[in-house]
Amino acid sequence: MIIMSVESSCDETAVALVRDGREILTDCISSQVDLHKLYGGVVPEIASRKHIEAIYGLADQALAQAGLTRKDIDAVAVTYAPGLIGAVLVGVNFAKAASLALGVPLIPVHHIRGHIAANYLAYPELEPPFLCLVVSGGHTMLVDVKGYTQMEILGGTLDDAAGECFDKVARVLDMPYPGGASLDKRAQQGTEGRYPMPRAKAGANPLDMSFSGLKTAAINLIHNAKQKGESLVVEDLCADFSAAVSDTLVPRAMMALEQTGYKKLAVAGGVAANSRIRRDILAEAEKRGVSVYMPPLKLCGDNGAMIGAQGYYEYLAGNLGDMSLNAYATKSILGETL
């Protein structure tokens, strides 16, 4: 079954063709990052406009690259939540039109379920159940993936997402948007220990997390140094900051593995590209005999193929949409409107 999948929830327009949820035939992405960089963050109206400009051409490009025609498309999958509402609407309306015109099913896909499914593309042998650490720009949580479409949230951030925290600190350090990857690069050249950072405990659930205190501590340190005219060893600060994020995430992921008894840990979302987090996860998992699944960097960030992968399993579960499908700025991974 060939699914055309569409992703437009933030600042990447993406159209992919995926076979049976596992094989990427083509994955076309048009990034708007350079445009939003000028403003230090995503400007929602600009994002929506650029999605409209890019999406039709990308769909044609995807078909041409795969050597396929519209007749080969068996279904259309689309991110319908969560994201910037105007941006998500562009993808949803395009997908509705394509589904209607082609006479094929329409499959609504939750963006974060898509991130988890990026692992199915990278690891053909991976099947639920497994634990997934989701770390993106807007979400940070530990998900018990019981089945392809049955999930339970075991814990998560009570305030900021890990990616948001990376981006804010990077911005105060004058790194270009989105700063996570730049901060990671600088951290790799630094040495830990010069700038100790807090590791917060959050609430009664030991699997919950908090990042806002860490973010504030790092930003205060930078502002203080600026006000006093002191120079900072940015590489060392980035290293200490990344260590604190990883120390918040990785031990909780290990705790969740113990709780569930799973021996499979997947990682998903843009922050899963972080070198420190990847290293710590591999080291801790190895000690426990746990298999680790981490998508290659290009499948960690937003892409269309991950929506096609999850879309296939939503289709098999009968989770189809129709012409009344709406877009949602917020919606839980379990499908509840927040």
User: Considering the rule CB under 5 A, would residue 79 count as an interface residue with Zn ion?
Assistant: no
User: Considering the rule CB under 6 A, would residue 27 count as an interface residue with ligand KG4?
Assistant: no
Q: Which is nearer to ligand KG4, 66 or 249 (CB)?
A: 249
User: Considering the rule CB under 6 A, would residue 138 count as an interface residue with ligand KG4?
Assistant: yes
What is the number of H-type helices and E-type strands within the chain? Answer: 11, 10
Give residues with Cβ within 8 angstroms of 174, minimum separation 6: none
Q: Which of 144, 167, 236, 240 binds ligand KG4 (CB under 6 A)?
A: 167
Confirm if 109 and 78 have CB atoms less than 8 A apart: yes
Backbone angles phi, psi at 10, to 5 degrees: -140, -110
User: Considering the rule CB under 6 A, would residue 176 count as an interface residue with ligand KG4?
Assistant: no
Q: How far is CA 328 from its chain centroid?
A: 17
What is the pattern of x (binds ligand KG4, CB under 6 A) and - over residues 99-118? ----------------x---
User: Considering the rule CB under 5 A, would residue 164 count as an interface residue with Zn ion?
Assistant: no
Backbone angles phi, psi at 259, to 5 degrees: -60, -40
User: Considering the rule CB under 6 A, would residue 301 count as an interface residue with ligand KG4?
Assistant: yes
Partner from Zn ion, ligand KG4, none contacting 271, C-beta within 5 to 8 A by type:
ligand KG4
Q: Which of residues 134-153 bind Zn ion (CB under 5 A)?
A: 136
Q: Which is nearer to ligand KG4, 2 or 84 (CB)?
A: 84
> What is the distance between the alpha carbons of residues 189 and 78, in angstroms, rounded to a whole number?
39
Confirm if 61 and 48 have CB atoms less than 8 A apart: no
Closest CA to 244 of 171, 160, 302, 300: 160
Q: Which of 63, 274, 293, 315 binds ligand KG4 (CB under 6 A)?
A: 274
Q: Which stretch binds ligand KG4 (CB under 6 A): 15-23, 121-129, 163-171, 203-211?
A: 163-171
The β-bridge relationship of strands 2-7 and 75-81 is parallel
What is the pattern of x (binds ligand KG4, CB under 6 A) and - over residues 253-272? ----------------xxx-
User: Considering the rule CB under 5 A, would residue 240 count as an interface residue with Zn ion?
Assistant: no
Return the CA Rg of the chain: 20
Q: Which of 187, 302, 311, 312 binds Zn ion (CB under 5 A)?
A: 302
Taking the complex as a whole, how short is the minimal distance between the CB of residue 258 and ligand KG4, in angstroms? 26
Q: Which of residues 50-69 bind ligand KG4 (CB under 6 A)?
A: none
Backbone angles phi, psi at 310, to 5 degrees: -70, -35
Backbone angles phi, psi at 186, to 5 degrees: -65, -40
Residue 145 C-beta-side C-alpha neighbours within 13 Å: 28
Token pair for residue 126? 């991976």
Token pair for residue 173? 């350090």
Partner from Zn ion, ligand KG4, none contacting 274, C-beta within 5 to 8 A by type:
ligand KG4
Q: Which stretch binds Zn ion (CB under 5 A): 34-42, 81-89, 129-137, 195-203?
A: 129-137
Q: Which residues bind Zn ion (CB under 5 A)?
A: 136, 302
- Residues forming contacts to ligand KG4 in the complex (CB under 6 A) are 10, 115, 136-138, 163, 166-167, 178-181, 184, 269-271, 273-274, 301-302
